[in-house]
Amino acid sequence: MSEPVIVLDKLSKRFGDVQAVRDVSLTIVAGTIFGFLGANGAGKTTTIRMLCGLTHPTGGRATISGHDVWQERQLVRAKFGYVAQRFSLYPDLTVEENFRFFGGACRVPVTQLEERIGNLLGLTDLEEKRDTPAGSLSGGMRQLLALGCALVHDPPLLFLDEPTSGLEPVHRQHIWNLLYDLSNDGKTIFVTTHYMDEAERCTEVGFIESGRLLAKAPPRELKASFRTKLLEIDVDPVMPALVRLRNLPEILGVSLRSGALRIYAPDPERLIAIWQTNWPFPDLKLIGERWVEPDMEDVFTAYSQGYDAVLKPST
């Protein structure tokens, strides 16, 4: 088994009366693409800032390659690249000048820098933009440049804080293709996101809500944590049905998926058996029903909303 690259032991952060991160413990091994998922304000960015030595933990500790992220932060910073949530490069410098600046800041040997920049320009598909000011790039190209600058010193670990937020699908896919290649080369990727579909792209996923780690496992295992398949129904009209079904005591929650209603209930088999003979809403038409496999959005909904009755007991 691979050695742990990142270890969190009851890591916590408080800002005054606000507990932003609460006793988070987890381990990430080399080569993992770890997706840290949660809504805005859940504690993702605060956690990543503590790991990068930018914010002092108020409880617990964390290590990268065995070194304390705060006590030994100067040593640790050489071991990772960091792509911030907001564009943080120099807009007046060209693409190549940004690479040169960060290469110098990271003390990349001059004898290696030219080759490194050439490789990164190819990797990020920015060769034709090498003389373009960074501020003139599109949002997707800016993120590719930020990713390239984070890699200029060839770190074994990469932190990305919501790197695809607001990007169009083409650049989102380009960034994820790069992450796959980097992981294949042995780099460890720690990426925060609030896109549930991106969880499917990770080798391991952690859900955080209100500063607490709710679950951590590979996506397949998280989806297997549901006790049963989910019930999905077609109803006309759909929106009144969604509102009224949510108020039934035997239903935990309802979500709209591609025009159908997905039902979270402790005993969906019993529920649909009753509805097939005694549908409770005569002014709404039940058109059809089916069983569906849970996806990552279902998993996050169940954990974050406390739908314990649809999940297998934790071992």
When pLDDT is cut at 50, 70 and 90, the band that residue 165 belongs to is confident
When pLDDT is cut at 50, 70 and 90, the band that residue 88 belongs to is confident
The region, left, alpha or beta by phi > 0 then psi within -120 to 50, assigned to residue 31 is left
Per-residue b or e along 53-72, where b marks 16 or more CB atoms closer than 10 Å to that residue's CB = bbbebeebbbbbbeeebbee
Q: Is the pLDDT confidence value at 100 over 70?
A: yes
pTM of the entire structure?
A: 0.90
Q: Which domains does the chain have, with CATH numbers?
A: 4-217 (3.40.50.300), 230-310 (no CATH)
When pLDDT is cut at 50, 70 and 90, the band that residue 1 belongs to is low
Map tokens 């009209």 to a residue.
237
251-262, pLDDT tens digit by residue?
999 999 999 999
pLDDT in the model for residue 315: 53
Q: Is the pLDDT confidence value at 40 over 90?
A: no
Nearest to 199 by CA among 297, 267, 57: 297
Q: Is the pLDDT confidence value at 86 over 80?
A: no
Contacts of 14 (CB under 8 A, 6+ apart): 20, 58, 59
Q: Which of 69-73, 87-91, 127-131, 230-234 has the lowest mean pLDDT?
A: 87-91
Give the best-scoring range by mean pLDDT among 188-202, 229-243, 296-310.
229-243
